[in-house]
Structure 1
Amino acid sequence: MPYAARPNSKKERRQENEKLILAAAEKVFAEAGFGGATMQLIADVAGLPKANLHYYFPTKEALYRQVVQNIFQIWLQAADVFDAADGPEEGIGAYIDAKMEISRHHPAGSKVWASEVMHRAPVIQDYLETTLAEWTQGRIAVIERWIEEGRMDAIDPRHLLYMLWATTQHYADFGHQIDTLNNGMPLSDAQWEEAKTSVKQIILRGIGATG
């Protein structure tokens, strides 16, 4: 039934085009920043006409915000383990694993976020003041509950979160430096597993969350 298949085919083409555009935009924004990126350059990297970009994303800012929101949504999903975990060893350990995997597979998105924040978030300040602030407060409440239950040392949850973000995202934001110190080679599967194990051991022992 070819007629019935057309809507699905159109939907699939739309999804594929959006995927191509967002992947290209993530790469270009990571390398050139918001100011240096152009819709034409993103279109060239995506292999699509510039008109296609404006069809899906009317402005560069709309596309940029979508790229930033995408990486943040991936980070939010990684943090779901906080709410489901029995305690900090399981919750924070799983969160470190997830964030390290995101740094491994989505390094450009992390770099876009880092660059935006280092420039005082001119495009997404409202996002930081609402979505990020609400998410952070929710994780603080979970950590404070674990502290009250005696499952970890009494530390400031905010500084623990800052340390978790800084450590795990370092593997994306400073990937070139890590590769250089690894004899010019990307970390292997075994090295990524070793890195995750080491980071968990250092942080979990440091906050008294290991059994």
Structure 2
Amino acid sequence: MKWTQLPLGPLQTNAYVIQNEQKEAIIVDPGGNGTQLVNWLQQQELRPLAILLTHAHFDHIGAVDDVRQAFSCPAYLHEEEAKWLGDSTLNGSSRFMGDDAIIIKEADHLIRAEEPLTIGSFAFTLYETPGHSPGSVSYYLKDQSIIFSGDVLFQQSIGRTDLPGGNHEQLLQSIHSKLLDLPEDTVVACGHGSPTTIGQEMDQNPFLSGF
């Protein structure tokens, strides 16, 4: 199993494509450039089984419908943000993109609890990690020692909390109680920027000291 980081959309948000030897794939946060992403997936001869959304801010969802239409695969999102995909005010696109506001179809599956999620050969552990947004979810692949954290934790930084539903104390609590309990060699596949590890952030992240 391997994964590929693809910066997409207006803010170059990291989409992640996780694939197995059978060319089946999971797409995490397809943020934009839908035609480009679909073409790349087809060129790689991949068959997406699902789209996993860490949260529903506009820069993480822009290519969801393109991928769904091309590959007939479902999208997963936490129930706290069930209405955000179809509401440009909630997903922030009306504020930041004006006439290019994003309105897409509702999620096919709503996440309601922390529980195992198995799709084909892909076995994830779900962590509810609110704070950046109320429905932020992190997807952990234990066997591959990687967690897809969206905009919760970055290399030497953390997610912003000044958007609707953001809560700084809640974000820090999510990071400390969920992410920092993972093994230190766990790769953190962030929503923006370069991947990091849990150990690096425990040692170097200035936002996590003194909590």
> What TM-score does the superposition give when structure 2 sets the normalisation length?
0.25
Higher strand share: 2
Of structures 1 and 2, the one with the larger relative CO (CA 8 A, separation 6+) is: 1
Structure with higher Rg: it is 1
